[in-house]
Structures are given as C-alpha cells and as structure tokens.
C-alpha cells in the first residue's frame, strides 16, 4: 500500500497516527485508522536497511521548499491544509520514487 492510499483511508494532523476515537497512537499500532504524511510514509515505505524511507521524506520536503520532516509536519498541520492536497503531494513523490526504486523494494505489503 502506498502512503497516498493510507491517507485516502484516513488523514490526521498534529499526530503521526490516530485511532478511531481520535487518540494519538504510534504508527505501528494496529488501532491506527488515520495518519499524517510522515506516519503514512513510515507505515507504507520499506524503512530500515533501505534508503527509500529517508529519500521519500527528502523528496517531499524538497517539494515543500523546506528541510526535512519538520517542514512536512508544519505543512500538514496548517489549518488551511486539506486531505486532497496531502494526497496530491504524496502521489507526486510516489511517482518520483517509483522512478528511483523498484515497487517491490519500495512499499511494504500488508
């Protein structure tokens, strides 16, 4: 599953992930039903030994004109931000990432 697909299922602000009651949870918590872009990247992109996770974050921050994950969080948490804007940006970065990495080496499988 791609990060944009996770956000389509549920989007949040001011937390990496939330459960159905709106309580903040960790990204790996099975109770998570909505995510911010960083949370969705952590859940969907193969992190660990792969450079895919850090490259995804770098490309996304670059598109926002900022440096690192803090610019992504600030952008996502803006009151005027919409779910649709988040999905669109994630799709743009996914397209870039799929030119750099083979999909089977990029996204986790459920």
Range(s) of the domain holding residue 99: 3-105
Q: Is residue 39 assigned to a domain?
A: yes
**Residue 76 domain-assigned?**
yes
Query: Helix, strand, or coil here: 25?
Result: strand
For residues 4 and 84, what is the distance between their CA atoms, to the nearest angstrom?
10
The pLDDT tens digits of the residues spanning 88-110 come to 999 999 999 999 988 777 888 76
Q: How many domains does the chain have?
A: 1
The verdict on residue 110 lying in a domain is no
Query: How many Cβ atoms are within 10 Å of 31's Cβ, its own excluded?
Result: 12
pTM above 0.85, yes or no: yes
Is residue 66 a part of any domain in this protein? Answer: yes
Q: Beginning with the edge strand found earlier in the chain, give each strand of the sheet holding 24-25 in spatial order.
A: 24-25, 17-18, 34-35
> What confidence score (pLDDT) does residue 103 get?
74
């Amino acid at each position: 599953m791609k990060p944009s697909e996770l956000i389509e299922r549920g989007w949040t602000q001011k937390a990496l992930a939330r459960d159905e009651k709106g309580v903040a949870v960790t990204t790996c918590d099975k109770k998570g039903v909505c995510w911010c872009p960083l949370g969705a990247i952590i859940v969907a992109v193969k992190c660990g030994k792969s450079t895919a996770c850090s490259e995804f974050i770098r490309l996304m921050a670059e598109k926002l004109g900022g440096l690192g994950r803090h610019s992504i969080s600030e952008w996502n948490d803006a009151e005027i931000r919409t779910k649709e804007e988040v999905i669109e940006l994630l799709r743009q970065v996914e397209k870039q990432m799929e030119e750099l990495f083979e999909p089977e080496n990029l996204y986790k499988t459920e």
